Structure 1
Amino acid sequence: MSQNPTYNDWSANEIELEAFDQVLNTWLNDLEVRAIILMILSSENIEQKVINEVKSSILKNDGELEDAKLAIHNNRFHVKASNKMKSVNWSDHIDDFEENVFQESSGPKIDFLELLWSGSQVIDLN
């Protein structure tokens, strides 16, 4: 895939995830293999592991869990979290202020995500 011009602007990580997704989707088309894979993955409590990883990632990046959200939409994970920003006081006429500034990001498309995720489509992380 890394030699395919279709993926020229993709990172190595994105190509690896896409390759994994394609192989797994091929396996999921075989009903017997699909049942085994889903049984294994469902026993792993994937949803809680994802939630824990998202929280950990936010905290590692000095983010705030207050009002943070994880959403699943169109087979992608979408995360909305904030960082506390503090103004720089340039003069005696402008007061300092501190505010949470939100940012949103989403991960790569995971075609089989809807098969694994049975819980809420929007999760509060605080």
Structure 2
Amino acid sequence: MLTGKTVVLGITGSIAAYKTAYLASALKKQHCDVHVIMTKNACEFITPLTFETLTGNKCLVDTFDRDFKFDVTHISIAKKADLIMIAPASANVIAKLANGIADDMLTTTVLASKATKLVSPAMNTNMYQ
């Protein structure tokens, strides 16, 4: 069902971030073009290199990264995406998206995209409630 689709995989700062490596690998096995965007807090739990190795694409973290071919990266990725999955999705990022706050690579890309979005909350139960 996802064969040949472009999937943007957003990873936020949660202990569950390490599990997303399995998701990235499974999406590649389904022949998806997987592009990972991590928040800076996610990088405290797992490294971008893990996802670059699994997907064959550069893992994006910094909105102002100067190591790129010239394009507006968050817009080009947003247009390319067939599906955006945010897993794990921290309370912080969910609140930003719900209120239109675009202050990092992940939130600017998600808000700029018309693609279907799947959000998997990962937080303390009290925070979720």
- Give TM-score, length-normalised by structure 2: 0.24
- Give TM-score, length-normalised by structure 1: 0.25
Structure scoring higher RCO (CA < 8 A, sep ≥ 6) equals: 2
